[in-house]
Every structure is written in C-alpha cells, then in structure tokens.
Amino acid sequence: MSNFQFPGQTAIYNGKVRDVYSIQPNLLVMVASDRISAFDVILPRPIPFKGQVLNQIAEIMLGATQDICPNWLLSVPAPTVSIGKKCVPFKIEMVVRGNLVGHAWRTYTSGLRELCGVALPDGLKENDFFPTPIITPSTKADAGHDEDISKEKIISTGLVSANDWHTLEKYALALFERGKEIAASRGLILADTKYEFGKIGDTIYLMDEVHTPDSSRYFYLEGFAERQITGEKQKQLSKEFVREWLIANNFMGKEGQTVPEMNDEWIDTISKRYIELFEKVSGKQFKPETLSDAQIELAVSNSLNELIK
C-alpha cells in the first residue's frame, strides 16, 4: 500500500489494486500498484510492471474514446499515476460482452439461459460471438463480491435513474464498439470488458481504467474462427489465465480455500503476459520505468500544483 502526501490531500482509499487519494475539493490521484486480485481477493505476491501497464493502457484508451463521452482523466504525471476529476460514482459496473466467455460461459454451461435479465440464445459454444453485444451489469461492492443485477432492478431500486441508464447504455455500447475497432486493428478481438461511470452535476463521466487486461478479455484474431470450428482452446490476452490457474489449484475465493503458492517463474510469466498485452493493444514497445516514492511524489505534486492554481 502506498502512503504518499500530496498537496491538498484530504483522504486515501486503498483498493484491491489501486490506492486513491482525494485532493480537495474535486480531484483524485489514482496510483496503480503491482498488486493483483482475482475472485475479489488480493493475491499474495505483486506482479512487476503490472501497475505501469494498466495505467498506460488506460491513458491510451481514454484518449482514444474521449469523443464518445467525457472522462475523468486530466494528467498522467508518472508511469503508475493518473490524476483526474472526482466524480460521484454509480454503484454499478457496466459489463459488456461480445463473446460467450468467462462468467457468462460458466453461467451458460450450468444450463441457465439468462444472465442479468438478458436472454442467452441456445446453441452457442464457449467463446462464440453473441448476435450483438450484451450488457450484463454488476453491483459495485465496497467490500466482498460484486453481484449480477438486471437493468430492471437497477432502475426499480434507484441505483440509477431511467434517464441515466439510457445514457450509460449508449456510452457503454459505443465504447465497446470503439474498443473492438482498436483491437481489430491490432489483430485482437475484444471479447468482453467493464466500464465504470460517475457524475459531476448532471454530466456523466467515464471513470477508472478502460480496455486493460484487468478489465477486459482479448482473443487473438488470427486463427480464431478455425479454433472455434475445431474446438481448440482460444489464445487470449487477459487476466483470465490467472483465474484459470487458481481454479485448477482449487481456489475461487470461497471461505476456507487457500491461495496456491506463486513461485518466481509463475510471477515472471504473469508479468510478461501483461507486457505482451500492452504492446499488442498499443502497438508500442513497453519501456519499464521504476521511480522512487520521492520521484513519484514530486511529479504528482508538481502536476497538482498546476491543476489547482
């Protein structure tokens, strides 16, 4: 957990993988750590350069989607740090799925044909495309597990107004379409992702990270159709391979389960997968940067002093 002191700082929140500093009156400093979580549990060992990968992909993707909707980002003063507008967050995540994979596939293979109030067509195989992308929201839990929720329940319980839901739905589908276009240009398929939104006054902003390996799942486009026909496992770039390893080692975040040991070789493998996804998604070479806490604090303080003049 980081413990910086920034100009105008009023509070700090240590999340599963990020530390968020409130800066009076309307700014946030978000520090992306190398911590990794799965099944809502922080795993015992950090992943080198993971924070930098997530922060820099998010910076690229927020820049590439700012014509679709306003977003929170104002400045990226350090490789692992973003500064942006403080919004009042909606207590839901907008999960958009283009392919039947992950949680949706686990639901489907159990025999259910509905997820978050959305009907799932019969006859699909794992990783198949849905006829059109679907939105399967989840609650944003302050602690514990996020839970599936339907659009109807979101509106009826007042989590989001009907008008705001219409805007969130429109933004999420447009962002996903842009994400798919960017992915395709890099030889990838954006299979699913999640978006978080908040408000300042009456304006809705896109918040947090976008189209990163922690919030998204990517498949390799080349050979995808052939692998679907033959039933071969799809090549993917995401955090799902970490979840699969945990499941194979009898851990799904349930009470009484123990996180399996993560040896140096496995940590190095995860780090390389994150870097590979950065380079694949961005088309840029990854340049590892390691700043001291003092260097980060200075860079962020200088940026904040400019923003709060």
What dihedral do alpha carbons 23, 26, 300, 29 form, nearest 10°? 80
Domain assignment of residue 142, yes or no: yes
Domain assignment of residue 56, yes or no: no
pTM exceeds cut of 0.75: yes
H or E segment at 189? strand 188-200
Looking at residue 145, its pLDDT comes to 62
Q: For the chain, how big is the Rg over CA atoms in Å?
A: 19
* pLDDT tens readout for residues 118-153: 999 999 999 999 999 999 999 976 655 679 999 999
Domain range for 217: 89-238
Looking at residue 141, its pLDDT comes to 66
Both tokens assigned to 64: 């590439």
* pLDDT tens readout for residues 199-254: 999 999 999 999 998 899 999 999 999 999 999 999 888 788 898 899 999 999 89
User: How many Cα atoms within 13 Å fall on the side-chain side of residue 224?
Assistant: 17
DSSP string, 55-93: HHHHHHHHHHTTTTS-BSEEEEEETTEEEEE--EE-SEE
Domain assignment of residue 69, yes or no: no
Domain assignment of residue 214, yes or no: yes
Q: How many structural domains compose the chain?
A: 1
Domain assignment of residue 22, yes or no: no
* pLDDT tens readout for residues 168-206: 999 999 999 999 999 999 999 999 999 999 999 999 999
CATH number at 94 reads 3.30.470.20
**Percent of the chain scoring above 70 in pLDDT:** 98
Domain assignment of residue 70, yes or no: no
Domain assignment of residue 132, yes or no: yes
Domain assignment of residue 299, yes or no: no
* pLDDT tens readout for residues 6-58: 999 999 999 889 999 999 899 999 999 999 998 888 999 999 999 999 999 99
